[in-house]
Amino acid sequence: MQSDNLPVIMQLAVQRSLLCSIAIAWLAIAAPGLADSARIAVDPGARWLEGDGAGEAWDVSARLDDGSHFFARFWITNEGPGAHTGVAMGYFRRPDGQVAQFRYGRERERWESGAGGRFMRIASAVLDLRAPYGAVEIDTNRGGMKVYLRFAVPETLPAVCARREGDSGFDVLRMQEPVEGVAWVAGMTGLIAAKGAVDVTHAWSAESEVDAMLRRIDVSGRDGDLAFFATTIAARDGAAGPSCVAVARDGAPIAETRAAAEVVIAQPTEGAELYPLPSRISFRDPQVEVTASPRRELLRVDPLEIVPQPFRALLALRSAPQRIWIEADWQLRLESGGSEERGVGSAAITYTNPP
């Protein structure tokens, strides 16, 4: 966290909120009530939940045609002093492996929201989910990053892998949606055209339960007019939890299933013993089958690395999270029509603690 953005006490609050945001996404997907997506009204706007542990998070993951990747998280949290603290954090990975990053946090009265919670501006980071076009914008000279990505957002969003349980929930708002814009990070000679596909998810929870889940994996890919998004969790004891696979063609949903997932863990590589990567991730049922095989690791981050001591040591007593993004080969089979597609996509893995 940039020191000129937050005093030390707010830095602690923001890092606690980061842990909360990880739990939000896990808890929303893991809710015992697996809702029928067709009957759910999807609102991408902020819920503005009350309660000390409440919060919500929007994750944006873009894979660009030139080999770059952009990952961002926007969230609103009641953790720490005050309520509805706004936080934004993200990374831009260039094809050569160079990474630029940004981190911002603001107390409620110091960040902007509007349009029924569909728009938020936190320092130099903007998330806009208003129809007909949404956008993500990062404009920071100090952080060395200028990114503008635009993607279609219909007035009425289809429900994709939706979960609802009381005040908790999860939606895939955009699934491998075509995205375009411009990007520049420190080291580039000028702006580049940014074109590719983007996933946007929204998760919210009235409670903070950092230790409720062990691992979450999201996999997505696109080939021509066909796109998919698959997600699965592991419970604290490593047991498999709920999973979901959604498939769309030309942006229209054609299949969604709560397919059972199998995650095969590879022999840990040096430096990754505590947070091993899977060698294969499979989702299978009679309707849809998706298999993803990791190709290479794109980025690995410790969410606590920016917490000043002694707060880092205190937080580490209850959680040691890690987030990993990988490139993956995938195969998808649809029972209807007997079609099979394959391509290269990406996967995001979140550990709340080492397995």
d(CA 124, CA 99): 18
Helix H or strand E encompassing 12? helix 8-30
Residue 78 domain-assigned?
yes
pLDDT of residue 313: 63
Q: What is the CATH number of the domain that holds 127?
A: 2.40.370.10
Residue type, 91: Y
Residue 290 domain-assigned?
yes
Residue 208 domain-assigned?
yes
d(CA 235, CA 254): 29
Q: What value, to the nearest 5°, has the Cα angle with vertex 126 and ends 120 and 131?
A: 70
Domain count for the chain = 1
- As to burial, measured by CB atoms within 10 angstroms (0-12 exposed, 13-18 middle, 19+ buried), residue 330 is buried
Residue written as token pair 């299978």: 284
pTM of the model: 0.87
Residue 278 domain-assigned?
yes
Phi and psi torsions of 8, nearest 5°: -55, -45
Q: Which domain, by its residues, includes 38?
A: 8-351
Residue 2 domain-assigned?
no
Residue 299 domain-assigned?
yes
DSSP code at position 337: G
Residue 60 domain-assigned?
yes
Residue 50 domain-assigned?
yes
pLDDT of residue 37: 64
- As to burial, measured by CB atoms within 10 angstroms (0-12 exposed, 13-18 middle, 19+ buried), residue 346 is buried
pLDDT of residue 343: 95
Q: Please give the chain's pLDDT, 355 residues, in tens.
A: 443 344 433 443 444 444 444 443 333 333 333 456 656 789 999 999 998 878 899 999 999 999 999 999 998 988 766 799 898 989 999 999 999 999 888 899 999 999 999 999 999 999 999 999 999 999 998 889 999 999 999 999 999 999 888 888 899 999 999 999 999 999 999 999 999 999 999 999 887 655 557 888 999 999 999 999 999 988 777 777 778 999 999 988 899 999 888 888 876 666 667 888 889 999 998 889 999 999 999 999 987 665 545 545 655 666 788 899 999 999 999 987 667 899 999 999 988 888 7
